[in-house]
Each structure stands twice: as structure tokens, then as C-alpha cells.
Chain A
Amino acid sequence: MMARPPNLRVIPGFDTTLGLTLALLSLVVLLPLAALVLKAAGLGVAQWLAIVTDPRVLASFRLSFGGAAIAAGLNGIFGLLVAWVLVRYRFPGRKLVDAFIDLPFALPTAVAGIALTALYAPNGWVGQFLPFKVAFTPLGAMLAMVFIGIPFVVRTVEPVLQDLESELEEAAACLGASRAQTFARVILPVIAPALLTGISLAFARAVGEYGSVIFIAGNMPGVSEIAPLLIVTKLEQFDYVGATAIATLMLGLSFALLLAINLLQKWNRQRMGAAS
């Protein structure tokens, strides 16, 4: 970035726009978040620990984080498959399918929640053919998490696959590699950073997801209750302290995750830069 001395500035409006930006940012984002930190600071460490190590809270974190990890893993596999098919193959309706990928971003989560519940309920279109229960079990929660995570992996892997130079694959083929070997040894290492970034974005989204999960999960305490729902339950019982303690733990974990994602993306960009 080029640094220029401030007295050479021609463009006006720096004070106004930065002032407005900071004012809105403080009012809408920073001040309310500070209220959470303030409330949490009022809790002693012992009290905070007592709340977050309660068996019901621990179970909800296991489902939110464990379920999100499984869902993100599935999204990694299917997202890679979908991205591969969309970039490499030509078939009728490909553009329509590509546009449809972002549906989970555009569809309100409550709508997704009741639709998935209707499908996977024991008498639903899909549920009636399954030998095991999906809706109203932890499996249902994971299903909703898979749904909302679909676009992340596809959208991060697609551009990298597009930029992948075919010469690399041709060279591998000339040297006697099979397609499977080329995929595992040549293609996969190049797209790995993007794939991992997509998986962690899907994971981060699934951890905090509320709307689509609560309809299908059944919400049995200790079994199929997610951490965000427990926050809502505590709030409805006017247990603001409990809600705050759980929220700070979730927030801390998601910020750690965000940091990891940023590092991954940096690595991704470096790899992309080195390849071109």
C-alpha cells in the first residue's frame, strides 16, 4: 500500500465517513458486545466454571461442536464432489444447479427447519423409508447443520479448481500416474487449503446455528439440545447469568476458530499466489 502524506489528500469526507462508520459500529456492534463482556466480568471465575461444567451445558456443547464437526466433514466430502462436478463437467442445467447452491444462504433458517422436519419425520417423504429415526434425534440436528453448510465448501473450492492448471495433470498422466493417483497426489494438495477453509467456515456456521436445528432436533436436555437453545432457555427463565456464561464460552471458542480460519485463508492465498 502506498503511504501518502495527509496534506496531499484531495478526496474529501474522511472525517465524516470514518466518524459515521465508527459511530454506527460502536452503537450496533461494539457497545452491545461490551455489555456481554461487562456482565461476564461480573461473574467470578468459580461461578462461571460451575455454570459451564454443568452436565446439561457440557452435553449441549458436545452436540453443537461434535455435531458441527461431523456435519462439516460431510460437507467437505459432498462439497468437493459438487464443486468438482460443476467445474469439470458440462451437463444440461449446470448453471441452474450452480445458482441453487446458495439456497441455504437465502432461505430463512426457520423455513429450512420446518421443511427438513416435514421430510425426515417418521411419516415424512424421506423419513418413512429410513429404518432409523432422524427427526427429533441428534441425527436430525446434524442433518440441519449439513444443510446450512453446503455453500461454504463449494464456494471456496470452485475458484481454486477453476484456476488449477491442466498442465500439472497432463504431466502426471505422462509420467504414468493413474487418474486416482493424479487426484490424490497432484490435485488434492493444491486444493487442500481451500477445502480446509471451506470446512472450517461450515463448522463455524453450524456451531452457532439455531433456527434450522431447533425444529428438527427434538431438543431433549442432555441428548438433542444445542448450546444456542440452552442460552434461549436460560433467558426465558430470566437466568441472565447462566445465559451470559454459556454465551461467553461460545463466543471465545468461535473467535479462536475465526483466527484459525484467517490463518488458513492466508495460507490459501499464499498457495494460490505461488501457483500462478
Chain B
Amino acid sequence: MPRQCSETCLELLALELVRAYGRQSRVPPAAAVDAIGFRTGRQLAERYTANRARLGEPLEVIKFVCKEFWMEVFRKQVDNLRTNHRGTFVLKDNTFRWLAKLSVDPAPPAGAAATRAVASVAELARDYLVLPCALVRGALAHLGVNAAVTAEAAVPPACEFTVTIKPR
């Protein structure tokens, strides 16, 4: 039986991680969080692939990440996977759970507030997407797919991850 932990604890930890690194000034926060995520992604990949058949092609690895890895880490599967068949994959998650509870301080003035609030949640989401991106990148790298991963949440909690496989 694997050890389990409450989802709330994980959410709070992810929030606090971004906040703690955001407040200190020794290392750039994004780089520090990225390094943590990359390392954790590698370890998770090792664990989650232990009891399954061998993966071969990069496409199989991406599918594994979309289904099993996503299920384990983000508690659901990716909703939509698109590719241009030239090494770029777009993973769309319509309700990305790590962003589900993200919100900005209630905008004080009325009027233009509606549009501004949405824009700033998307902006806020950028900081919180560094960790998931790094997790995915770490898992892919450990399974033999070197890729760059970026994420954008235009309308949180919907979120699009773009995976670009680097040529060898």
C-alpha cells in the first residue's frame, strides 16, 4: 500500500513553495521551483513506470504522461492531446486542478474590474505553472524524451501545456 497524503496538503505545499521562493532573493524563484519540479518529475517517472510494460516511441511516452502520470499527479487525465507530428504536442486540460482554487484579491473598484481580474488570474497562474511544467519535463526527460515544456492558462483553470521535443 503506497503512502498517501491529503490533496489539500499537497495544494498548500505547492502554494507555499511558490510564495517562499518568491519572497527570498538569493536565487531566481522560477529557477529554484523549476529545479525542484524537474527532480521530482524524474523520481515520479521512476515510480509510476515500475509496474508497466516498456515504453518505446516518444508518442507512447507522451501518452503515458497524459494518462497515467497526469492521473497520479493531477488526479485526472488530460482532456485533449494534439500534435503537429513534428515534435510538438499540445496537452489541454480543461480543469487543471492545481489552478482550480486560484483567485486574486477581490478587485476594489467596479467597472473595468471584470476584465482586469481575469487577466491577473492568468498572470498569477504563470507563477504556479512553473512547478507542473517542470514535473512534466522531468518525467519526460527521465523516460528518454528531451523536451521543453511551457504552459499557458488563458482562462484558468483551463490550461494548455506545450511540449516541444528537442532534436538530438
User: Are A and B physically bound partners?
Assistant: no
Q: Which residues of B contact A (CB under 8 A)?
A: none
